[in-house]
Amino acid sequence: MLNTIFKYFGYCLASILVLGCYDAPYFPEEPAISFNQIEFVEVDGAADSLILTFNFEDGDGDLGLAIDEVYPPYHIFNYVVEEVDSEYYLIRYGQLNFNEPLILATSYDGEVILSGNYDFDQTLPEYGCSDYLVTTDVDTDEADTFLIKKNIFNKNIYVNFYKKIRGVYQLINDDFSQGGCVEFFNSRIPIFDQDNIGKSLKGDVSFAMLSQGFQQTFRNDSIKMRFYIYDRHLNKSNIAETPDFVLINITRN
């Protein structure tokens, strides 16, 4: 669904990827991003492409996640558990009684890793793909449904779509994600060069989102996007925003 294209530049030569020829300028360790360009590419008989290009600066260059990095803190989700007599138990769908506070937990190398409390308003959420995981017990072959919380640090780029409806911009992510049952465009910027981590970086990223639903969802309406990224140390960038656009006006010839 997703494709990410990288373009980096340094201050010395276009082919230099790391700012190392002269004293590198100071960049904060938190990444900073800004809008560069948005383009739409229509493809006959296949998914169309919406390409967001943005500029970035990062003081320690710790941007990017590899596909196989699924261990904490980059794991996909946390189980929601209760603590009973120093033991942790998963919360099942429909469970009415449990010990509070509920806790977010995952396991890695045989160790339970806790990552804070699970926030909820009195009652657990209704069943939905974004809040519950259906799994089968390997011993009994019986299916069960457990409460989970997706880990925001599993992705490192987040995008939000807004459509102008009766003069007010409204979030329309669910038009694509179907309530969390289908993977939305939030994804991973891959590591460009492991050797660059720890060094100041500045450049731009082109992030291509593929879908056959852009034209049906956007039509001739005014759209804008807000987006942000995380670095490997879980620092969040500023939230950047595209100008208003209509699909036909950003279509590549």
For residues 171 and 219, membership in a common domain is answered with yes
* Shared-domain flag, residues 49 and 159: yes
Residues 186 and 233 in one domain: yes
> What integer pLDDT is reported at residue 44 of this predicted model?
87
The pLDDT of residue 162: 97
User: 246 with 158, same domain?
Assistant: yes
Residues 18 and 96 in one domain: no
| Statement: the pTM of the whole predicted model exceeds 0.75 | yes
215 lies in the same domain as 143: no
Beta-carbon contacts of 157 under 8 Å, excluding residues fewer than 6 positions away, are: 186, 187, 188, 189, 207, 227, 228, 229, 230
How many Å apart are CA 203 and CA 17, to the nearest integer? 9
Amino acid at 61: G
Do 48 and 90 share a structural domain? Answer: no
Q: What 3-state class would DSSP assign to 153?
A: helix
With a cut of 70, list the residues of the chain below it in pLDDT. Answer: 1-25, 178-180, 193
Please calculate the CA angle 97-100-105 and round it to the nearest 5 degrees.
105
pLDDT score of 178: 66
First to last CA, the chain: 23
Model pLDDT, residue 179: 62
Looking at residue 46, what is its pLDDT?
Answer: 87
* C-beta of residue 229 within 8 angstroms of C-beta of residue 156: yes
Question: What pLDDT score does 221 carry?
Answer: 95
Domain check: are 222 and 162 in the same one? Answer: yes
User: For residue 54, what are the β-bridge partners?
Assistant: 35, 205
Does residue 170 contact residue 163 with C-beta atoms inside 8 Å? yes
Half-sphere exposure at residue 153, Cβ-oriented, CA atoms within 13 angstroms: 16
- Number of domains composing the chain: 2
CB 77 within 8 A of CB 133: yes
Q: Looking at the DSSP assignment, which residues form a beta bridge with residue 37?
A: 53
Q: Are the CB atoms for 144 and 95 separated by under 8 Å?
A: no
Specify the residue for token string 């694509």: 176
Q: Residue 106 belongs to what domain range?
A: 77-150
